Amino acid sequence: MTTSPAPGLEPDDDAPAGEPVALPSIETPTLTKAELAELLFERLGLNKRESKDMVEAFFDLIHATLVTGHDVKLSGFGNFNIRRKAPRPGRNPRTGEAIPIKARNVVTFHASHKLKGVVQGDIPPGDEFE
């Protein structure tokens, strides 16, 4: 199976420019934290424990920042924004019964123009993310 390289990872030297790069460690279409840690181990030479800790720390930092109500911007990748949703009337689709929906915060993600360009194929995947 061939997939595009994870953002920030360099493609193999023997792969043609602009072509998807096969990553043997990614076996599913979903990239997991364990697979990210494995890629750090393989590509950067960190030991497995350091790789796992780095991935966990990265996501813990994003999580903690969002929980405090602040937005997270990953330059060249996208923005995670906290949006406040007002209370509103809703209904149970099975019974039709009116149910009030409480006010809540939701997280939204907006991809950067650069990420959108890579996904659309307008920008070659080998370009570095800033």
DSSP 34: H
- Residue ranges of domains in the chain, CATH in brackets: 1-68 (no CATH), 70-123 (4.10.520.10)
Mean of the per-residue pLDDT values for the chain?
82
- Closest-CA residue to 130 (of 4, 6, 8): 8
Mean pLDDT of 99-125: 91
Residue 17 has a pLDDT of: 47
How far, in Å, CA of 1 to CA of 32, rounded?
Answer: 16
DSSP 130: -
Residue 84 has a pLDDT of: 94
Residue 8 three-state SS? coil
pLDDT in tens, 2-41: 444 444 444 444 444 445 544 555 555 788 999 999 999 9
Mean pLDDT of 30-56: 92
Residue 101 three-state SS? strand
34: which 2 tokens?
């364990």
Mean pLDDT of 91-105: 95
Residue 50 has a pLDDT of: 93
How far, in Å, CA of 75 to CA of 81, rounded?
Answer: 14
Residue 122 has a pLDDT of: 84
How far, in Å, CA of 127 to CA of 78, rounded?
Answer: 16
